[in-house]
Amino acid sequence: MRHEGPAADPLTLADYARLAQTAMDPAVWDFLEGGAGEERALARNLEAFDQARLRPRVLAGVAQPDTRTRVLGRGWAAPVAVAPMGYHTLAHPEGEVATASAAGAAGVPLVVSTFAGRTFEDIAAVTTAPLWLQVYCFRDRATTRELIGRAQRAGFEALVVTVDAPRLGRRLRDVRNGFRLPTGIAPANLSGADFSSPSGHARAEFDAALDWSVVEWLRSVSPLPILLKGILSAADARRAIEAGVDGVIVSNHGGRQLDQAPATLEALPEVASEVAGACPVILDGGIRRGSDVLTSLALGADAVFLGRPVLHGLAVAQRDGVAGVLDIVIDELADVMALTGTRFVADAGPELAYGSERRTPLAAPRAVNSSGLLKEELHASVSDPVLDTMNFLNEITQRYPDAISFAPGRPYAGFFDIEQMFEHIRRYLKHLEENGKSPAQVRETLFQYGPTSGQIRELIADSLRQDEHIDVPPESIVVTVGCQEAMLLVVRALMSGPDDVLMAASPCYVGITGVARLLDVEMTAVAEAEDGFRCADLEAAIRDERAQGRRPRAFYVVPDHSNPSGTTMPLEERRALLELAAREDILLLEDSPYRMVSPGRQLPSLKSLDRGRHVVQLGSFSKSLFPGARVGYAVADQAVVDRAGNTGLLADELTRIKSMVTVNTSPLSQAAVGGMLLAAGGRTSELNVETAAYYGEAMQATLRQLDACFPSDDRAALGISWNRPDGGFFLAVDVPFRADDAALTRSAEEFGVIWTPMSYFYPGGGGEHTLRLSVSYLSQADIHEGIARLARYVKAEARR
């Protein structure tokens, strides 16, 4: 919520600036606003943004733009970070601590200046957002090395090296004012020098002879990613890429910038074109509105830095003032994204921005990348953070092969026997012969494409009757390439217009989120309570969607031993959910792959309780029978009536879509799964007696080892807790630190244990202090050792 002034009217950024100037000593205000060169650079930047124009787009169907993005492997709530600025304590005694707290609440990073007025440790203690360190290189490299090491130990995640200001320029206003830092104001992370005159200190201590070798030197003293701040030309961008930097920052307000230097917005297209996606490009300078952010993204930036307005907010209302400034910019960004039809941050491309003839940099398209396609010209989903999550996990696993991994939700490999696969296929072929198929027909069944809807639908229908008491005709079943395809077919069929909304219990399986992003489908997360899903929360969300003119079409849920949290929906809640679906006229998408591989008697599935055809069941044999076969199915027995009054099944419509996606599911895979179903007389539960017992014991062994490694007193002191699923593959562990990609990398590298950040599974954001453990793929010995390593990691991380 935006900060409100005494008259309860929302403040603008101009209001914050005016109030801050009134509240500050004039000499302090002049110092924080910068020297004459910085003023001229800022003026050029503001003018460039004032002249920029964005193309509106009507009837685009973008009701709720998604401002989230991902930079250097970390999720940001918006493509905005707080720029590096020294001496926040001049604006308010809480300084960077207040700024960091507000930035963390907003979900955006803070770049902490070398000349921060509060310690790195104090700053890190109050925020969950990424912290980067802005670095000036001193003549005494030991000072720089010590500064970087201290920030790294405090949990900072990247280095922003200011390369355009080896010394501060002449600050005539400071000279006229005779400005000296007030008593008690000094850099909190540096010592041993006279800081009372900042410009004098800079001229005496900064290394004015920096060259490109500084990148190599920084690599030698720290493993943190390096971004260079002050890049304004394609030539320097090219040198930066060749030097192996991890990001470039387009900035023109360093201390020695030429008066003729371009505005950041003018330089951005040239730099972004040269970088061509090799690393993130960030713009710093002149951001005052949400439209400035979107214009920057359209012209090639991945994110922007927001500077002076943050200090203005800090001076006016401490933490709340910073929060108010960030809210204004992020809210305006969402508004302008909606007005330009920009659903996701990655959708912003050069077609959004244009200018007058004298502003040709805005109108000109980016240079063609002769070595390939520009990623920003591909569909936005390829740049969506959701699609990077599994790739990042795979990368971590490959990078640290000796680590014990609680990440993959795969079945235990010890149950597979190669010879059994051939037995199952032969059994299915014999079944075909016994049902009157000629040798030529059997051969064709195995070698040709086969029916799009699937050739083992009768066997699946029989299995559902015996195992789940679900009585549906084979015609209502579509055999798919895994459950993932079933999700895609159903979501594609149901979502027909821009106002249609897919809802999902959150946290949820990342696959359904990915489907929504691939199909440009609006998705609304319905947050689970601590003890699991509640119908009342879904009902409230449905009504809220309708109040905003949208149409909730379906609700996705994993009711049994869910992925990722491991929770199970009680029977009374299942009945209430079915009643709600009937009352509100929505479909339930039930994805429940862990029932057959969990010990004990399972609660009735939603589909087995469904009397009004309100449930589409999304099924899979990957967990229960044969992962590599990739055979799933959708039970879609809902009636579909066309304009002429003809009635069919939703399954028929899914089949039509499938014919344009995968054509059919592999006959060989279907034969293997069909043979397994025949071997058990349709009862997959009988085939899974041993596996369910194994997984149940794996879960109990994990819980016992957690209890042993974290006695009750330690849990309270550390702030760690976990749930206790009675089946499935997963459980959730709450930890006292941010469980993100950076934390996962430290866990794998330093302690040899891998887990999954729970934040991957929150479509609307959340889960930052929770990790998911999968127990399915590991032996008992690995579980014992892996939890011991995890305990050592958690205790070390909690002390950071």
Helices 418-434 and 667-679 pack at an angle, to 10 degrees, of 90
Helices 385-399 and 510-518 pack at an angle, to 10 degrees, of 130
Residue 386: name the closest of 542, 525, 528 by CA: 525
Two structure tokens written together for 147? 């500064």
Strands 303-306 and 80-82: parallel
Q: What are the Cα distances from residue 525, in Å, to 315, 566, 592?
A: 36, 18, 19
d(CA 251, CA 260): 14
Two structure tokens written together for 183? 């008593």
d(CA 614, CA 637): 9
The helix (run of H) or strand (run of E) holding residue 789 is helix 780-798
Going by the DSSP 8-state scheme, the letter that residue 683 receives in this structure is -
What's the gap between Cα 245 and its chain centre? 23
Using a 10 angstrom Cβ sphere, with 0-12 exposed, 13-18 middle and 19 or more buried, the burial of residue 627 is: middle
Spatial contact of 563 and 729, defined as CB atoms under 8 Å apart: yes
d(CA 653, CA 631): 19
Q: Which residues of 162-183 are buried (b: 16+ CB within 10 A; e: fewer)?
A: bbbbbbbbebebbeebebebee
For residue 212, give every residue at least 6 positions away whose Cβ sits within 8 Å of its Cβ, in sequence order, or none. Answer: 239, 243
Q: Could you identify the residue written with the tokens 């589909």?
A: 607
Q: Is 253 a catalytic residue?
A: yes
Two structure tokens written together for 378? 């591909």
Residue 332: name the closest of 380, 281, 294 by CA: 294
For residue 722, give every residue at least 6 positions away whose Cβ sits within 8 Å of its Cβ, in sequence order, or none. Answer: 703, 706, 731, 732, 733, 734
User: Within a 10 A sphere around the Cβ of 707, how many other Cβ atoms?
Assistant: 14
d(CA 373, CA 385): 20
d(CA 559, CA 595): 10
Spatial contact of 246 and 161, defined as CB atoms under 8 Å apart: no
Catalytic residue from among 3, 88, 253, 561: 253
Residue 737: name the closest of 762, 752, 755, 725 by CA: 755
Cis ω for the linkage preceding 559 (within 30 of 0): no
Taking 3-state DSSP, the helix, strand and coil percentages for the chain, each rounded to the nearest 5, stand at 45, 15, 40
Active site amino acids: 253
